[in-house]
Copies of this chain bind each other. A is one copy, B any other.
Amino acid sequence: MIPDVRLGTTDIDVAVELAALEGLGGGAVASFTGIVRGDDALIALELEHYPEMTLAAMTGIAEQAAARWPLLGLTVVHRHGRLAPGERIVFIGVAASRRGAAIKAMQFLIDWLKTRAPFWKREHRAGGGASWVEPREADSQAAARWESRA
């Protein structure tokens, strides 16, 4: 199983991604979609990234998931650039024979993408203000709990 990992600026077609994973013969497909929240006065979310490194880092994380759980399919799509509220940022889909592997791998992938893929979010607000999103301690803790498990 070779993970399908993509980085781009266009919208993610969740239906197409899920249909491909559902057709692999497994009994379980788990997915996660991250979306730009329509928070107060937010007009756009900008995702900066490290062009020479990002896809390789995402692929490394996906290969970790594939090594840890018996998976039939794994898709990760992450966008960069400027996104409006309601737009998809990231899609993670995992197919496996049984649900345990699919759900755990999905959770691992989003936890590690949040803390180990070189993206930086900036929030643009109505009135012209913009601020870099601060890293969350909860995200570090979520990522760290996978360290101790081979």
Hey, which bits of chain A sit against chain B, CB under 8 A?
A: 14-15, 18, 22-23, 25-38, 85-86, 88, 97, 99-100, 102-103, 106-107, 110, 138, 142
Contacts and interface: CB of A to CB of B under 8 A. Distances in A.
A22 B35 contact: yes
B31 A35 contact: no
B30 A34 contact: no
B103 A32 contact: yes
Given A103-B107, A107-B103, A35 B29 contact: yes
23 contacts: A14-B22, A15-B15, A18-B18, A22-B35, A22-B86, A22-B88, A25-B85, A26-B37, A27-B35, A27-B37, A28-B32, A28-B34, A29-B32, A29-B33, A30-B30, A30-B32, A31-B31, A32-B103, A37-B97, A99-B110, A100-B142, A103-B107, A103-B110
Nearest to A32: B30
Contact of A138 (B23, B26, B33, B100): B100
Contacts of A88: 22
A142 to B, nearest CB: 7
A30 B31 contact: yes
Contacts of A99: 32, 34, 110
Given A15-B14, A138-B100, A142-B100, A33 B25 contact: no
